[in-house]
Amino acid sequence: MAVLILGVGNILLSDEGVGCRTVEELEQRYQFPEAVRLLDGGTAGMELIGAISEADHLILIDALAAGRPPGTVVRVEGEDVPATFQTRISPHQLGISDVLAAATITGDLPASMVLFGIEPESMATGLALSAVVRAGLEKIIKAVVEELTGLGLPPLDLVDTVDGVDVVD
Amino acid sequence: MSERIVIDPITRIEGHLRIECEVNQGKVVKAWSSGTMWRGIELILKDRDPREAWIYTQRICGVCTTVHAIASVRAVENALGLEIPLNAQHIRNMIIAAHGIFDHIVHFYHLSALDWVDLVSALKADPRATAALGQKLSGWQHNSYEEIKAAQEKLQALIDSGQLGIYGSGYWGHPAMKLSPEVNLLAATHYLQALEYQRSINKVVAILGSKTPHIQNLAVGGVANPINPNNQSTLTMERLFYIKTLIDEIGAFIHEVYMQDVAAVGAFYADWTAIGAGVTSYLAVPDMPMNTAGTTFDLPGGYIPDGDISKFQEIKSFQDTFFRDGVKEGIKHSYYDGDWTKHPWEEETAPKFTGFQEDGKYSWVKSPTFNGKPAQVGPLANVLCMYAAGHEPTRKYVTAVLNTVSSLAGSKVGVPALHSTIGRHAARAIRCALLHDTLGRQWQLLVDNIGRGDYATFNPPTFPKGEQRGFGFHEAPRGNLSHWVVIADGRIKNYQCVVPSTWNAGPRNGDDAMGPYEASLVGTPIADPQKPLEVLRTIHSFDPCLACAVHLVDGRRQEISRVKVL
């Protein structure tokens, strides 16, 4: 099963880029099985269709402004994922909405989809995440690792290993 | 009685675009184009290392990441007087061309065709008659009855499912929709095929740029693609030949499908060749540098004042002073403090939001001018400038497209028809064919140069003490893009991006002259002010980088998805 972990957002607008930042962190902390691909999609639209159509399972990570307390992490599943991007709660819904709609038409939509969304606090110009969203990012990382483990594709924690060998306490 | 139309879609991809029109007796009499979001990239780049500016600038826009990376490295190289190796020019040129082809195909089929093509009407078409029509237009191998029938069934299933998604906001059955069911079905079939082809050409960007979106292979001084014909981890002959296969595959689609479809839309909507001209001073920069210094180019560029091709003035090099000194930006009608018109190197960024005032400030977008006047940019400007420069391949494709339109329309359609909404679509298809030719040529030049034993891809930059000023331009899919940098002691002191959509979407300038979007809307007929399809047609023909303008999202739609809070 091919899994795509796709973080989207704009890193120039602080919390708006949390999806991309999560992918960066995941890449630094873990080594992933070959079937798992990570992609920082930025705010791209149709350029992502190739990567999405090659996936059987899509894990999307994005900022979702829905009026919840900042830093709140939500999980959306299956058909509700495209539906979420068609409503106005994602700050950059159109790019992703276009791709998912196009993939639906061509029959390339991944068989299963999960979206991890996080409520932004600040979308001001700047590269840094707010503290509360930074904390939410940790929750998403944990959830993604659990998700992959549940799929039988657990990542290897690089922080606990030296040269790829497990460190025994 | 006059009526107001406001189109104010929502997104944050490249900033919001709001269009407001005053309609009187079925025609637009006044228009305002308003960018409703401020980005302030300048503030992020201040005091950073100029060598890494491109990494941030390519995040400005989700649709045109690559172009901001290219313009940025060119600007810093210009400030340093740094030439780059020939291989680096060719590799960059191939990325530029492949990205442009991808972008133009996506724009026509996926972001604007549904302004002209009625998907619901396509369901009523006879697939056999559609196949016959397709075979009359070109020798495209995928215009068969079976493929057209299959496409119609896909459409039927989509519409039956009730999940039209983004297509749900199309103006099906609008009185301004004029294509026959068969033409609609043929276009819809190509819409689906285009999804496949745009994917394959984007692979060229991914291979050369290491990644897409957001290429990784650029550097101030060249590219980071090591070349070694015998080492598998570098750019090998095997990879280069795979790229050649991808280039060849897309050629037939561009010539036999895209150019023919544009000609057909132009012929069946011939009235739109007299609508939407707007600002007819055109600015385009030369691109596809053919030497290390950027003093000769494969595709020419320049300036045409007031639609007069005979007054064309060429822009000749990356150091061109006519371009450098001609560009200014003004803020009389923009949400910045004061009222000035300045050269990009001299600008300051002091936002001051006042709210929409139709005679005062009403946009976050600044108002660029060339030699004191607004200028239209984009494929139409590019094609007209290349035509004016006597570029033979451009003349060949312009003539071919106009001949097809003339024969389908049954009347002679000439070059003046290009100054229009439909002309912008035609020019984009022509440019796409030219980019495809140049992509093949750049590939050959790269392979030949490697064959001569030249593997160089990078000249390291050095930053002297004191201040340097540079500018880098690029003829991007949406028009000319320029980055302007002031470097002091190796750090960025000032940085400005003058982007294509600023040229076109800019508000009235210091002399109160309308920007290209605004001017192009005046005089547009509006059949139904509640469904202003005609406004969208003209704005979309510019390929607005403000992706919000791409589709209208129904803001009243309720939140229907189920979410679980973790």
Q: B165 pLDDT exceeds 60?
A: no
- The Cα of A112 is separated from the nearest Cα of chain B by a number of Å equal to 16
Average pLDDT over residues B128-142: 94
- The Cα of B405 is separated from the nearest Cα of chain A by a number of Å equal to 30
Average pLDDT over residues B142-164: 87
Could you tell me the two tokens for A135?
């904390």
Query: Looking at residue A52, what DSSP letter applies?
Result: H
B contact test, residue of A77, A105, A138, A142 with most B CBs within 10 A? A105
Is B61 considered catalytic here?
A: yes
pLDDT of amino acid B166 = 52
Average pLDDT over residues A22-39: 97
Residue that wins the pLDDT comparison between B347 and B464: B464
Average pLDDT over residues B196-204: 91
> B192–A46: do the CB atoms touch at under 8 Å?
no
Radius of gyration, alpha carbons of chain A: 16
Average pLDDT over residues B27-42: 80
Average pLDDT over residues B270-277: 96
Nearest CB among A44, A82, A87 relative to B62 is that of A44
Percent of chain B whose predicted confidence (pLDDT) is above 90: 72
Express each pLDDT in A134-159 by its tens digit: 999 999 999 999 999 999 999 999 87
Q: Which domains does chain B have, with CATH numbers?
A: 2-223+238-549 (1.10.645.10)
Express each pLDDT in B308-329 by its tens digit: 999 999 999 999 999 999 999 9
Cβ neighbourhood burial of B411 (10 Å; 0-12, 13-18, 19+)? exposed
B contact test, residue of A52, A86, A99 with most B CBs within 10 A? A86
B contact residues 425-444, partner A, Cβ 8 Å cutoff:
none
Residue that wins the pLDDT comparison between A98 and B52: B52
Q: B169 pLDDT exceeds 80?
A: no
Is B83 considered catalytic here?
A: no
Q: A164 pLDDT exceeds 70?
A: no
Q: B24 pLDDT exceeds 50?
A: yes
Q: Are A72 and A117 in contact (CB under 8 A)?
A: no
B contact residues 1-20, partner A, Cβ 8 Å cutoff:
10-14
- Range from B175-179, B369-373, B538-542 that averages highest in pLDDT: B369-373
Average pLDDT over residues B285-314: 98
Residue B196 — pLDDT band, cuts 50, 70, 90?
Answer: confident
Could you tell me the two tokens for B220?
């101030």
> B561–A125: do the CB atoms touch at under 8 Å?
no
> A104–B165: do the CB atoms touch at under 8 Å?
yes
Is B14 considered catalytic here?
A: yes
B contact residues 149-208, partner A, Cβ 8 Å cutoff:
154, 158, 163, 165-167, 192, 195-196, 198-199, 202-203
Q: B50 pLDDT exceeds 70?
A: yes
Nearest CB among A84, A100, A125 relative to B44 is that of A125
Packing angle of the helix pair B145-161, A93-106 (nearest 10 deg): 120
Q: Which of B77, B142, B545, B551 is catalytic?
A: B545
Express each pLDDT in B414-462 by its tens digit: 999 999 999 999 999 999 999 999 999 999 999 999 999 999 999 999 9
> A42–B199: do the CB atoms touch at under 8 Å?
no
Angle at the Cα of A19 from the Cα atoms of A107 and A101, rounded to 5 degrees: 20
Q: Which of B33, B501, B520, B541 is catalytic?
A: B501
Average pLDDT over residues B544-552: 41
> B199–A50: do the CB atoms touch at under 8 Å?
yes
CATH code for the domain of A86 = 3.40.50.1450
> B195–A102: do the CB atoms touch at under 8 Å?
yes
Residue that wins the pLDDT comparison between B7 and A92: B7
Q: B360 pLDDT exceeds 70?
A: yes
Of B4-8, B39-43, B320-324, B371-375, minimum mean pLDDT range: B39-43
Give this complex's ipTM: 0.84
Of B34-43, B225-234, B274-283, B405-414, minimum mean pLDDT range: B34-43
Residue B244 — pLDDT band, cuts 50, 70, 90?
Answer: very high
> A44–B110: do the CB atoms touch at under 8 Å?
no
Q: B371 pLDDT exceeds 50?
A: yes
Average pLDDT over residues B362-381: 95
Q: Which of B18, B68, B92, B428 is catalytic?
A: B68
Element (H, E) at B476: strand B467-476
pLDDT of amino acid A105 = 80
pLDDT of amino acid B158 = 80
Q: B293 pLDDT exceeds 50?
A: yes
Q: B164 pLDDT exceeds 70?
A: no
Nearest CB among B213, B551, B559 relative to A94 is that of B551
Could you tell me the two tokens for B508?
């009235």
Express each pLDDT in B63-84 by its tens digit: 678 999 999 999 999 999 999 9
CA of B373: how far to CAs of B381, B482, B503, B509, B513, in Å? 15, 17, 11, 8, 8
Q: B206 pLDDT exceeds 50?
A: yes
Residue B544 — pLDDT band, cuts 50, 70, 90?
Answer: confident
Q: For residue B424, how many C-alpha atoms fall within 13 Å in the half-sphere facing its CB?
A: 33
Angle at the Cα of B394 from the Cα atoms of B392 and B397, rounded to 5 degrees: 110
Nearest CB among B65, B163, B167 relative to A44 is that of B65
- The Cα of B199 is separated from the nearest Cα of chain A by a number of Å equal to 6
> A95–B62: do the CB atoms touch at under 8 Å?
yes
Average pLDDT over residues B519-539: 90
> A12–B59: do the CB atoms touch at under 8 Å?
yes
Residue B11 — pLDDT band, cuts 50, 70, 90?
Answer: very low
Instruction: Please list every residue in chain A whose beta carbon sits closer than 8 Å to the beta carbon of residue B42.
Output: none
Q: B553 pLDDT exceeds 50?
A: no
Could you give the CA distance from residue B385 to residue B403 in angstroms, rounded to a whole number? 20
pLDDT of amino acid B564 = 64
Residue B36 — pLDDT band, cuts 50, 70, 90?
Answer: low
Could you give the CA distance from residue B453 to residue B431 in angstroms, rounded to a whole number? 33
> B158–A104: do the CB atoms touch at under 8 Å?
yes
Residue B546 — pLDDT band, cuts 50, 70, 90?
Answer: low
Of A40-49, A153-162, B69-78, B173-182, minimum mean pLDDT range: A153-162
B contact residues 511-550, partner A, Cβ 8 Å cutoff:
547-548, 550
Nearest CB among A82, A93, A98 relative to B110 is that of A98
Residue that wins the pLDDT comparison between B91 and B15: B91
Is B548 considered catalytic here?
A: yes
Percent of chain A whose predicted confidence (pLDDT) is above 70: 88
> A45–B62: do the CB atoms touch at under 8 Å?
yes
Q: Are B371 and B416 in contact (CB under 8 A)?
A: no
Could you give the CA distance from residue B137 to residue B111 in angstroms, rounded to a whole number? 23
Of B9-18, B387-396, B471-480, B499-508, minimum mean pLDDT range: B9-18
**Total CB pairs under 8 A between chain A and B:** 147
Radius of gyration, alpha carbons of chain B: 23
B65 touches chain A (CB under 8 A): yes
> A76–B563: do the CB atoms touch at under 8 Å?
yes
Express each pLDDT in B471-505 by its tens digit: 999 999 999 999 999 999 999 999 998 889 889 99
Of A78-87, B66-75, B227-236, B307-316, minimum mean pLDDT range: A78-87
> A87–B561: do the CB atoms touch at under 8 Å?
yes
Residue in A with minimal Cα distance to B167: A101
Is B545 considered catalytic here?
A: yes
- Number of other residues whose CB lies within 10 A of the CB of residue A166: 9
Domain around A161? 3-166
As a dihedral over the C-alpha atoms of residue B526, residue B114, residue A63, residue A55, rounded to 10 degrees, the angle is: 180
- The Cα of B336 is separated from the nearest Cα of chain A by a number of Å equal to 16
Of A13-17, A102-106, B390-394, B554-558, minimum mean pLDDT range: B554-558
Q: Which of B14, B77, B83, B534 is catalytic?
A: B14
Q: What is the total count of domains within chain A?
A: 1
Q: A89 pLDDT exceeds 50?
A: no
Nearest CB among A42, A77, A83 relative to B62 is that of A42
> B11–A93: do the CB atoms touch at under 8 Å?
yes
Residue B305 — pLDDT band, cuts 50, 70, 90?
Answer: very high
Packing angle of the helix pair B86-105, B237-253 (nearest 10 deg): 30
Q: B119 pLDDT exceeds 60?
A: yes
